[in-house]
Structure 1
Amino acid sequence: MAIPTANLERERLLKLAEEYRQKGYEVFFHPNLEDLPDFLKTYRPDMIVRRGEENVVIQVKSRSSLNSSSNQYLSNLAQAVERHPGWRFELVMTNPEDTTYSLKAEGSLQEHEIESQLQVAKQLITQHPKLALLSSWSLVEATLRLLAQKEELSLERFDPRYLINQLVSEGVISKSEYQLLMNLLPLRNSIAHGFKTTELTQNSVYELIELTEQLLRTLHTGDEAD
């Protein structure tokens, strides 16, 4: 039986809240009006998390719950948040049927395809940095799946946040690699879902491509000794 969309969104939000608490954030789950800064008084974000000078406004949505009205609301909320230093907006999509893949699925990109498409992504950076980032992100995800397959990891799902967290916890990727990916994930989400962003730089895309190339090289680590 299908799980109602609202339940899926709430479950994802609860998991996010626990993840942020474990990282030392103060979590405001469905914050009250008094917990909101003045520029957010007209909104009702799902969650706000705070740590030091960092403030994150989080909204969890399923694709099936998106429509023209909700898209406009999310766009206005994202723009309101982006205008304030120290604040960022994170839209988290939850849709298990879209994010569950088999490691051995024929449709998943293989190493030679990733390498070839990385060259195309490089050509996009100067004139089309957003497209370059989206393309590069899809390639790094494909690479991470190859790494998980090589290490024979048992994974429940393949949404990027879960995948990245599992790989760093297993020591497959380093903490610095983890941090770069997690820093770019909200940016990738904003662009992928049609939100404006002023944070994207060409250097960010170059860093993501370089990381992907580095991770591809690790696929062969130890092969010489076999």
Structure 2
Amino acid sequence: MIATPTANIERERLLQLAEEYRERGYEVSFHPNLEDLPDFLKTYRPDMIVRLGEESVVIAVKSRSSLNSSSTQYLRNLAQAVAENPGWRFELVMTNPEDAVYFPKAEGSLQEDEIESGLQVARQLVAQQHLESALLYSWSLVEATLRIVAKNEELSLPRLEPLYLVKKLATEGLISQSEYQLLMNMLSLRNAIAHGFKTTQLTQNSVCELIEIAEELLESLHTGEATA
């Protein structure tokens, strides 16, 4: 059977993710066999599972062209099954050629003062219980902050995808392990919401913690102290 262009793209992205996780010390398992899956995953076929210590991550890579009502329901059920098991989290990675990091209408990244003002707005959204809006907006501010931190440290960023950005700063010791873990969890939630999936895992406290990370990173730019 000849692989479709979409399938090839998804596989290439999966291989990239595997390498990034290996660099951070994770054990990587591609398309694990049924006997290697825990009971709650035996009715699913994860693209990849990575493990490090007590953390296990179930990863699915999809392109918009490969999503339909059936696959969307499958992913929703898989995410729910993973969420019900402590120590496990679900990561949905969307990949498309047209989604390459190129912003023809962008007029430059947000600056520090704009991010700080935006974080205040995000806190207001949290206070008003608009958690999904607060998360999507807060995440955009976090991404802008991470780019500023990377630029300040003169890091080379061949890619600007948020997943790569978070892992790069963690590898360089610019964010702590606890911050990395929170950012990865919130990125999974952000992806789910941004692509039209429901989630019951979003809390007021988690969004506030995300906002605090951005605030602390901005503060570290002026103190010269790493957060890790």
Q: 1:168 to 1:77 in 2, by over 3 A?
A: closer
Q: What is the CA distance between 1:174 and its match in structure 2? A: 4.4
Structure 2 equivalent of residue 200 of structure 1:
202
Structure 2 equivalent of residue 125 of structure 1:
126
Matches of 1:207 and 1:98, distance apart in 2: 28
Structure 2 equivalent of residue 58 of structure 1:
59
Matches of 1:169 and 1:7, distance apart in 2: 28
Matched-pair identity in %: 77
Structure 1 equivalent of residue 113 of structure 2:
112
Task: Specify the code of the residue in structure 1 equivalent to 2:70.
Answer: S
164, 168, 171: which one aligns with 1:162: 164
Counterpart contact for 2:20–2:167, Cα < 8 Å: no
131, 147, 150: which one aligns with 1:148: 150
Structure 1: runs of 5 or more not aligned:
none
Counterpart contact for 1:59–1:91, Cα < 8 Å: yes
Matches of 2:178 and 2:45, distance apart in 1: 34
Matches of 1:158 and 1:73, distance apart in 2: 29
Q: 1:218 to 1:26 in 2, by over 3 A?
A: closer
Deviations 1:192-218 (A, max 9, x none): 333333332222211211221222233
Superposed CA RMSD in Å reads 2.7
Structure 2: runs of 5 or more not aligned:
none
Task: Specify the code of the residue in structure 2 equivalent to 1:192.
Answer: A
Q: What is the CA distance between 1:136 and its match in structure 2? A: 0.6
Counterpart contact for 2:115–2:141, Cα < 8 Å: yes
Matches of 1:147 and 1:51, distance apart in 2: 26
Q: Does 1:29 align with 2:30?
A: yes
Query: Which has the larger displacement, 117-126 or 59-68?
Result: 59-68
Matches of 1:9 and 1:101, distance apart in 2: 19
Structure 1 equivalent of residue 88 of structure 2:
87
Matches of 2:73 and 2:141, distance apart in 1: 30
Deviations 1:111-170 (A, max 9, x none): 232222211111111312222122111101011112223333321111112112222334
Q: Does 1:180 align with 2:182?
A: yes
Deviations 1:45-101 (A, max 9, x none): 111233444332210112232232321221122223223333322111223542424
Q: What is the CA distance between 1:22 and its match in structure 2? A: 4.1
Counterpart contact for 1:55–1:87, Cα < 8 Å: yes
Matches of 1:96 and 1:157, distance apart in 2: 14
Aligned residues: 218
Counterpart contact for 1:99–1:158, Cα < 8 Å: no
Structure 1 equivalent of residue 70 of structure 2:
69
Query: SS of the residue aligned with 2:50?
Result: strand
Matches of 2:118 and 2:163, distance apart in 1: 23
209, 217, 220: which one aligns with 1:218: 220
Task: Specify the code of the residue in structure 2 equivalent to 1:205.
Answer: V
Query: SS of the residue aligned with 1:31?
Result: coil
Query: Which has the larger displacement, 45-54 or 126-135?
Result: 45-54
Matches of 2:212 and 2:137, distance apart in 1: 13
Q: Does 1:189 align with 2:196?
A: no
Q: 1:70 to 1:154 in 2, by over 3 A?
A: same
Q: Does 1:209 align with 2:216?
A: no
